[in-house]
Amino acid sequence: MAVAAMMDERMEAACTRFLFREAELLDRRMFDDWLGLLDSAIDYRIPVRTTRLAQDGGGFSAVAHFMKEDLGTLTLRVRRLDSDYAWAENPPTRTRRLVTNVRVSEMETADGRAVTSNFAVYCYRGDNPTPVILTGERQDVLSGPVGALRLRRRLVLLDSTVLGMESLSIFL
Amino acid sequence: MAKDSHPGSDAAALLAGMEDDLAKGMVPLRVFNNRQIYELELRRIFARSWVFIGHETELPNPGDYAVRHIGQDPFIFLRDDKGEIRVLFNSCRHRGVQICRAAMGNASEFVCPYHGWTYRNDGTLIGVPARSQGYRKLKLEDWGLFPAPHVTNYHGLVFANLDPEAIPFERHLGSYAWYLDTQLLLSEGGMEVIGEPYRWIVDANWKQGAENFCGDSSHTQMVHRSAIEVGVTGAAAAGAPGKSGLHVHDCDGHAISTRLAAPGQSVFWDYPEEVTRHFRPGRLSEAQFDFARRGVVHDGTVFPNFSYLHLGVTDSAERASAGFLTVRVWQPRGPGETEIWSWTLVPREAPDAYKQRAYEVSMSSFSPSGSFEQDDVAVWPGIARSARTVFAELNDIKLNYQMGMGEMSDSPHLQDWPGPGVAEASNAGEGGLRTFHNTWLRQMTRPV
């Protein structure tokens, strides 16, 4: 019992550290290092959301996505950002990610461990002193042992329906 | 140099001088961010043009609805219980409250949350609270939701017009139908929408996207250089202007931009065989069908703010280029703010797996996260910023739209092009953009 609880605490701390490390890499635009945190079978999705009546559910589309990625498509996105001519990110969006309310599942599935967190990303573009703030929940699955966790799945559930910024040229 | 200018005289003076400006291939910078011009646009363009509302396949079932906009005005796009598509003003006849408060859903009736006036989904008023006590003489049939005066379903594309005197959509489209039909009618089933539309906000004027899709072929090699560098698409589709490009402008007020493969080649925007085997001339002429067969890229705008783009791209180094059609609305939200709505469409007969694939490549290229679209919208806000400067006003700055105009061009008009409009054998030109602004000016100055 005590050993199991310790294992859970170790795993919880490791998952939280993983998410903080990931946020650091993305804020610092270390995209190649970020790709290194991804499982080769990564399934990464940001569904489109529409405003629905309460009785009709959360409004997340099963079909429409802002991003629906695997390792190949995420790698191509990163390669494009290497270009000096990727104008949406040159000058870059300055981002600050706050990752909180981390909830680590006690159960492990074949894919890994479910980790849910809340996020806020503050996006500053140009000299606009007012950031666009994207918030939402991320439902992740982290694979691998404590010392070598990798992101296997990510479902980003945005709180907004109309995207309040001109492009989604950052990773969430 | 500087002349005395009063902000209040802007719109009339701008419009008065624009015919001469356009004849010289110039457009005043200020039209891209001017409150007076914008207020006139809402009334003279959006309140009396055919505006895209949605696609019929977004509403597969009776009662399906979605909220859409004409200018900034909210309308309910719905399929009533009898299956008829309607466009109704989203405002209760009692106090004006929005009766439809979700963006999409299904309803057989709409109940106003304020006092409970209740409308059937064909717009008829069917219930009023305390009617027997206080509304005994109310004629329900006089107080239904306001319908858009004209609605048309053009091969699945639904347009509405708020002008009771509007000309029919087919006349508005005119001979440009030759080009639009080519995008829509390749297979018997036509096109269908995949998923809900993207919606996002750009700090730019609505005309920016509308004119760009009319034939701005020289921006691709610069704005989209990063996408070309990583191989999302080939130089044939997005490289420097050249002889593979064919522009058609002055086509009854509309324009189309293309990049075409050599005669005899079959490209069909990189749709795979499992899709193209459903393509046949059918409702198209042989010339239209050949135009589609050679299609590397087709993009155009149906005036005022509906644009389409047919092409093939890929999203990964490991996968082949795949074709899709994206359509979009540049919905005005202010003189310097636009909400972009965009949809992905595929031929209805395409296998389900291909539909999903087409959605993915469309998302990867032309969406808020798209490798192409990100960089368009990164530069457009700069135009809106310049347009509202005092400097632009004091100097009456005109922008240069002269590319390919008259003797500027190295190639003559095509004489033997089978389609309508003025065809240019080169896409090193901005005739389509001039067409857009000429149509705009005609509509802005047309007597009420």
Q: Is the same domain home to B314 and B258?
A: yes
The 3-state DSSP class for residue B259 equals strand
In DSSP notation, B287-327 reads HHHHHHHTEEEEEEEETTTEEEEEEEE-SSTTS--EEEEEE
Q: Is B344 exposed, middle or buried (0-12, 13-18, 19+ CB in 10 A)?
A: buried
> Domain containing B146: what range?
51-154
CA distance B153 to B55: 8
Residue from A65, A167, A170, A172 whose CB has the most chain B CBs within 10 Å, to mutate: A167
- For residues B105 and B148, state if they share a domain: yes
- Which of B125, B154, B183 is the endpoint of a domain? B154
State the CATH number of the domain containing residue B397.
3.90.380.10
Q: How far apart are CA B433 and CA B254, in angstroms?
A: 9
Same domain for B190 and B89, yes or no, is: no
- Asked whether residue B101 is assigned to any structural domain, the reply reads yes
Same domain, B135 and B186: no
Residues B363 and B236 in one domain: yes
Provide φ and ψ at A63, rounded to 5°: -115, -50
Q: Which residues of chain A have pLDDT under 50?
A: none
Do B257 and B379 lie in a common domain?
yes
Residue B3 lies in a domain: no
Q: Are B284 and B182 in contact (CB under 8 A)?
A: yes
Q: Flag whether B4 is in a domain.
A: no
Please tell me the total count of domains within chain B. Answer: 2
- Cβ atoms of residues B205 and B338 within 8 Å: yes
Does B34 reside within a domain?
no
B62 CB-near residues (< 8 Å, 6+ apart): B79, B80, B81, B82, B83, B108, B121
DSSP class per residue in B138-207: --GGGSSPPBPSEEEEETTEEEEE--TTPPPHHHHHGGGHHHHHHHH-SBTT-EEEEEEEEEEEESS-HH
What does the block give as tokens for B367? Answer: 């969406």
Q: Spell out which residues of chain A touch residue B316, defining contact as CB-CB under 8 Å.
A: 70, 72-73, 75-76
User: CA A13 to CA B333: how far, in whole Å?
Assistant: 46
User: How confident is the model over A41-91, as pLDDT tens digits?
Assistant: 999 999 999 999 999 999 999 999 999 999 999 999 999 999 999 999 999
Task: Tell me, yes or no, whether B81 and B220 share the same domain.
Answer: no
Whether residue B150 is found in the same domain as residue B229: no
- Give every CB contact of residue B401 below 8 A, 6+ residues apart in sequence: B22, B25, B26, B27, B430, B433, B434, B437
Question: Which DSSP string corresponds to chain A?
Answer: -HHHHHHHHHHHHHHHHHHHHHHHHHHTT-HHHHHTTEEEEEEEEEEEE----GGG---EEEEEEEEEE-HHHHHHHHHHHTSTT-GGGSSPPEEEEEEEEEEEEEEE-SS-EEEEEEEEEEEE-TT-SSPEEEEEEEEEEEES-GGG-EEEEEEEEES-SSBSSS---S--
Residues in B whose CB is inside 8 Å of some CB of A read 101-105, 194-204, 222-223, 225-227, 229-230, 232, 315-319, 339, 359-360, 363-364, 367-369, 371, 373-375, 377-379, 381
Considering only CB atoms, A164 lies closest to which of B103, B201, B222, namely B201
CATH number of domain containing B101? 2.102.10.10
In DSSP terms, which residues pair with B324 in a beta bridge? B311
B141 lies in the same domain as B237: no
Give pTM, 2 decimals.
Answer: 0.96
pLDDT score recorded for residue B7: 47
Tokens 């700090």, located at residue = B203
In a domain, B298, yes or no: yes
Q: Which residues of A touch B375 (CB under 8 A)?
A: 85-88
CB atoms within 10 A of CB B408: 12
Do B112 and B196 share a domain, yes or no? no
DSSP structure class, residue B408:
G
**CA distances (Å), B351 to each of B275, B355, B356, in order?**
8, 6, 9
Decide which of B103, B121, B154 is a domain's last residue: B154
Among B154, B182, B214, the domain boundary falls at B154
Identify the pLDDT of residue A1.
Answer: 54
B343 shares a domain with B386: yes
The answer to whether the bond into A92 is cis (omega within 30° of 0) is: no
Task: Tell the residue number behind the tokens 């909830």, with chain if given.
Answer: A103
Q: Closest chain A residue to B104 measured between Cα atoms?
A: A52
Q: Answer whether A77 sits within 8 Å of B374, measured CB to CB.
A: no
- Cα B52–Cα B190–Cα B267 angle in degrees, nearest 5: 105
Looking at the complex, report in whole angstroms how far the Cα of residue B168 sits from the nearest Cα belonging to chain A: 33
The residue whose two tokens read 């299904």 is B106
Determine the Cα–Cα distance for residues B371 and B229; give it in Å rounded to an integer: 11
What single letter denotes the amino acid at residue B133?
Answer: Q
**Alpha carbon separation from A135 to A157, B198, B216 (Å, rounded):** 9, 18, 36
Amino acid at A170: I
Together in a domain, B58 and B139: yes
| Per-residue tens of pLDDT for chain B, all 448 residues | 344 444 456 899 999 999 999 999 999 999 999 999 999 999 999 999 999 999 999 999 999 999 999 999 999 999 999 999 999 999 999 999 999 999 999 999 999 999 999 999 999 999 999 999 999 999 999 999 999 999 999 999 999 999 999 999 999 999 999 999 999 999 999 999 999 999 999 999 999 999 999 999 989 889 888 888 888 887 778 888 887 899 999 999 999 999 999 999 999 999 999 999 999 999 999 999 999 999 999 999 999 999 999 999 999 888 999 999 999 999 999 999 999 999 999 999 999 999 999 999 999 999 999 999 999 999 999 999 999 999 999 999 999 999 999 999 998 889 999 999 999 999 999 999 999 999 999 999 998 7
Instruction: Round to whole Å and give the CA distance between B330 and B41.
Output: 13
Q: Is there a contact between A99 and A121 (Cβ–Cβ < 8 Å)?
A: no
Q: Which domains does chain A have, with CATH numbers?
A: 2-158 (3.10.450.50)
Residue A150 contacts residue A16 (beta carbons within 8 Å): no
What element of type H or E holds B387?
A: helix B373-387
Q: Which residues of A touch B (CB under 8 A)?
A: 46, 48, 50-53, 56, 59, 61, 63-68, 70, 72-73, 75-77, 79-81, 83, 85-89, 161-169
CB atoms within 10 A of CB A73: 24
Indicate whether B322 belongs to any domain. Answer: yes
CA dist., res. B301 & res. B254, Å (int):
6
Burial class (CB in 10 A: 0-12, 13-18, 19+), B113: exposed
Q: Which chain A residues are closer than 8 Å to B371 by Cβ?
A: 76-77, 80
Task: Answer whether B257's CB lies under 8 Å from B220's CB.
Answer: no
This model of the complex carries an ipTM of 0.95
Q: Report how far residue A27's alpha carbon sits from residue A119's, in angstroms, rounded to the nearest whole number.
A: 13
